[in-house]
Chain A
């Protein structure tokens, strides 16, 4: 349900775009392959005053900056009376700590110039991005300091450029990189005492730990924007492509292999090991949201047969328009070749299934996006 800025395209343009995207293989207006993202430039660690930051510019000029700040906060304990775990063995205690993470330890805001804070599209974007982050509880579990304290993480997402295209993929990728580059001060205190930290920033560990050869062992989730035209599935649609989408989905994908493998393989990081890890990456679907594509709000094209401004050179005015009235009604329900007709109804289940599969399959888009993001120098 993301209402977006109005896309003004002529019916002829929409029809052309729809036709070219319906070809097999689809022909995208900027020549990309269906799974290809817009080229982008990325950098991290741009703001020394934050715990982590990143900036991404797409080639079309859209740009986003994300800053992460963390503060120590006292954990509000709902289970003060609950003393079972304290008496229990070490393992159980650790498990309990893991489960303690709460979603209000993360505060995520999205700023889009020209939109109000409470604008529905801004709120929806923020909800989608935080939903992905919180979906499996893995993220908040990283924020536990000890039983009494935790990190409260503030994610501020700024869209710098005017919103030229639906900014979800951009914001998600930037958030991902910012989280990857986030470091929290090294804890010097022990146990449940009041935490105090190492002043040395160089010693600060990453929120998402990595092995000594700089390989990231765990990754934050990524939200991909996927759309379908006919049976074609297209990733990272540009504005004009989204304007003819039959259906658009925001798919959030997490990496589950990391959390389990990180503990086991932390010690050994040979080159072979990394290769193995890459192969063994298990992707997990965290959430799917349908995004209402603007295509449904576009005006339909008028076929020549019912166009009163068409062919007057030959035929007189009055009689023809009357004759055409029944045809006009017929044209509303039937598709005419070369005339734009906004999509109606929901998506086909088969298309939806293919869409999710294409995202998640090994070597699929999500996999490659993770790989590419890993290549960004995390300074």
Chain B
């Protein structure tokens, strides 16, 4: 715990009324799309993302040129792969931001996010089980209010879980920031959890994703200037936030599974207790 909560007065609230260590409301659903192998919908505050996963599937000869810029992970594209290839395709809707802005498929920032998401997931997914295959992840950004990359990673993780692709653990992401700007050079600046758009614009911030409940960092992206001394605090808060996010994602999956068993679509499993008897 980097900071002692008790020294904080209630007056120190952020623009949207949160405390420094509070996440925004996260609402998530899986299996939103009947036709896809896996799908999810995720809201982090007003950032809204949809994800559709196709695969793993082996591309036939006809679909040779799988267009759309994709962050290939693992081996280079083309030819036979030992591992499955993770392709990520991000569409940022023109209406997603306050001012309408269209980003083409070749947009540099989008490309970078694509490869970040692809690499993060490829590291957790057991891609060695599916040689020659492709896992295509399409992400649609419907609304942006900060922490976009984190929302994309979380949505992609959920959709991959829904698709039943084996993985080491959830890749859960969130952002962390610092309460004063770089220029202020305030050594005592405190960290903040889960930045919204306004905070992201004004304050230094980073996106961090961890693998499951461990402290193993899968993604760390910092695109703003910040003093090194502040980094540790920010990272610690971010990693802690990731654990909260993982809990929330896990609950969504469990709830869906529970419903499916109730409805009888999936048979109940053998209880662990039965095993202990042996």
Q: Do chains A and B touch in the complex (CB under 8 A)?
A: yes
The reply to whether B136 and A63 form a contact with Cβ atoms under 8 Å apart is no
Please report the C-alpha to C-alpha distance between residue A300 and residue B184 in the assembled complex, in whole angstroms. 74
Which residue of B is nearest A154, CB measured?
A: B100
Query: Is there a chain B Cβ closer than 8 Å to A111's Cβ?
Result: yes
Listed stretches B16-24, B73-81, B87-95, B113-121; interface member: B87-95
Which residue of B is nearest A119, CB measured?
A: B67
Please report the C-alpha to C-alpha distance between residue A67 and residue B96 in the assembled complex, in whole angstroms. 9
Please report the C-alpha to C-alpha distance between residue A61 and residue B89 in the assembled complex, in whole angstroms. 20
Query: Is there a chain A Cβ closer than 8 Å to B198's Cβ?
Result: no
Contact of B95 among A6, A47, A161 (CB under 8 A): A47
* B123-143 interface bits toward A, Cβ cutoff 8 Å, 1 = contact, 0 = none: 000000000000010101011
The reply to whether A109 and B33 form a contact with Cβ atoms under 8 Å apart is no
Which residue of B is nearest A70, CB measured?
A: B100
Please report the C-alpha to C-alpha distance between residue A59 and residue B33 in the assembled complex, in whole angstroms. 10
Docked complex: A107-147 residues within 8 A CB-CB of B: 109, 111, 113-117, 119
* A66-80 interface bits toward B, Cβ cutoff 8 Å, 1 = contact, 0 = none: 011101000000000
Known: A50-B95, A69-B95, A162-B35. A116 touches B68 (CB 8 A): yes
Please report the C-alpha to C-alpha distance between residue A164 and residue B33 in the assembled complex, in whole angstroms. 12
The reply to whether A68 and B95 form a contact with Cβ atoms under 8 Å apart is yes
Residues in A with CB closer than 8 Å to B265 are none
Please report the C-alpha to C-alpha distance between residue A154 and residue B101 in the assembled complex, in whole angstroms. 10
Docked complex: A147-188 residues within 8 A CB-CB of B: 154, 156, 158, 160-162, 164
Query: Is there a chain A Cβ closer than 8 Å to B256's Cβ?
Result: no
Contact of A67 among B66, B93, B98 (CB under 8 A): B93
Please report the C-alpha to C-alpha distance between residue A57 and residue B52 in the assembled complex, in whole angstroms. 14
Query: Is there a chain B Cβ closer than 8 Å to A225's Cβ?
Result: no
The interface on chain B, measured as residues whose beta carbon lies within 8 A of the other chain's beta carbons, has a size of 30
The reply to whether A161 and B52 form a contact with Cβ atoms under 8 Å apart is yes
Residues in A with CB closer than 8 Å to B105 are 116-117
Please report the C-alpha to C-alpha distance between residue A50 and residue B95 in the assembled complex, in whole angstroms. 6
Contact of A158 among B48, B93, B136, B143 (CB under 8 A): B93
Query: Is there a chain B Cβ closer than 8 Å to A65's Cβ?
Result: yes
Query: Is there a chain B Cβ closer than 8 Å to A290's Cβ?
Result: no
Docked complex: A208-257 residues within 8 A CB-CB of B: none
Query: Is there a chain B Cβ closer than 8 Å to A62's Cβ?
Result: yes
Known: A114-B138, A156-B95. A71 touches B35 (CB 8 A): no
The reply to whether A49 and B46 form a contact with Cβ atoms under 8 Å apart is yes
Query: Is there a chain A Cβ closer than 8 Å to B34's Cβ?
Result: yes
Residues in B with CB closer than 8 Å to A47 are 48, 95, 142-143
The interface on chain A, measured as residues whose beta carbon lies within 8 A of the other chain's beta carbons, has a size of 32
Which residue of A is nearest B34, CB measured?
A: A61
Query: Is there a chain B Cβ closer than 8 Å to A53's Cβ?
Result: yes
Please report the C-alpha to C-alpha distance between residue A167 and residue B62 in the assembled complex, in whole angstroms. 21
Please report the C-alpha to C-alpha distance between residue A164 and residue B54 in the assembled complex, in whole angstroms. 12
Please report the C-alpha to C-alpha distance between residue A65 and residue B66 in the assembled complex, in whole angstroms. 23
Which residue of B is nearest A161, CB measured?
A: B35
Closest Cβ of chain A to B37, distance in Å, is: 10
Which residue of B is nearest A59, CB measured?
A: B34
Residues in B with CB closer than 8 Å to A115 are 67-68
Docked complex: B1-46 residues within 8 A CB-CB of A: 33-36, 46
Known: A6-B62, A71-B100, A161-B52. A113 touches B91 (CB 8 A): yes
Closest Cβ of chain A to B24, distance in Å, is: 15
Which residue of A is nearest B48, CB measured?
A: A47
Query: Is there a chain B Cβ closer than 8 Å to A60's Cβ?
Result: yes
Please report the C-alpha to C-alpha distance between residue A59 and residue B99 in the assembled complex, in whole angstroms. 34
The reply to whether A158 and B91 form a contact with Cβ atoms under 8 Å apart is yes
Please report the C-alpha to C-alpha distance between residue A170 and residue B68 in the assembled complex, in whole angstroms. 22
Closest Cβ of chain B to A208, distance in Å, is: 18
Query: Is there a chain A Cβ closer than 8 Å to B258's Cβ?
Result: no
Which residue of A is nearest B144, CB measured?
A: A49
Query: Is there a chain A Cβ closer than 8 Å to B102's Cβ?
Result: yes
Please report the C-alpha to C-alpha distance between residue A6 and residue B66 in the assembled complex, in whole angstroms. 13
Which residue of B is nearest A68, CB measured?
A: B95
Query: Is there a chain A Cβ closer than 8 Å to B164's Cβ?
Result: no
Docked complex: A1-56 residues within 8 A CB-CB of B: 6, 8, 47, 49-50, 53
Please report the C-alpha to C-alpha distance between residue A59 and residue B35 in the assembled complex, in whole angstroms. 9
Residues in B with CB closer than 8 Å to A61 are 33-36
Residues in A with CB closer than 8 Å to B136 are 114
Query: Is there a chain A Cβ closer than 8 Å to B50's Cβ?
Result: yes
Please report the C-alpha to C-alpha distance between residue A50 and residue B104 in the assembled complex, in whole angstroms. 20
Please report the C-alpha to C-alpha distance between residue A357 and residue B161 in the assembled complex, in whole angstroms. 50
Known: A49-B46, A49-B143. A113 touches B35 (CB 8 A): no
Please report the C-alpha to C-alpha distance between residue A164 and residue B68 in the assembled complex, in whole angstroms. 18
The reply to whether B52 and A154 form a contact with Cβ atoms under 8 Å apart is no
Please report the C-alpha to C-alpha distance between residue A371 and residue B177 in the assembled complex, in whole angstroms. 52
**Residue of B66, B68, B95, B143 ringed by the most chain A CB atoms within 10 A:** B95
Please report the C-alpha to C-alpha distance between residue A186 and residue B51 in the assembled complex, in whole angstroms. 36
The 13 listed contacts between A and B (C-beta, < 8 Å) are A47-B143, A49-B143, A50-B95, A61-B33, A62-B35, A67-B94, A68-B95, A113-B52, A114-B67, A114-B68, A154-B95, A162-B35, A162-B138
Going nearest first, the 7 A-B pairs with the smallest beta carbon separation are: A61-B35, A67-B95, A61-B34, A156-B94, A113-B138, A69-B100, A50-B95
Chain B residues close to A by CB (< 8 Å): 33-36, 46, 48, 50, 52, 54, 62, 66-68, 89, 91, 93-96, 98-100, 102, 104-105, 136, 138, 140, 142-143
16 further interface pairs, Cβ-Cβ under 8 Å (given A60-B34, A115-B67):
A47-B143, A60-B35, A61-B34, A61-B35, A63-B33, A67-B93, A68-B95, A113-B91, A116-B67, A117-B105, A156-B102, A160-B50, A161-B35, A161-B52, A162-B138, A164-B35
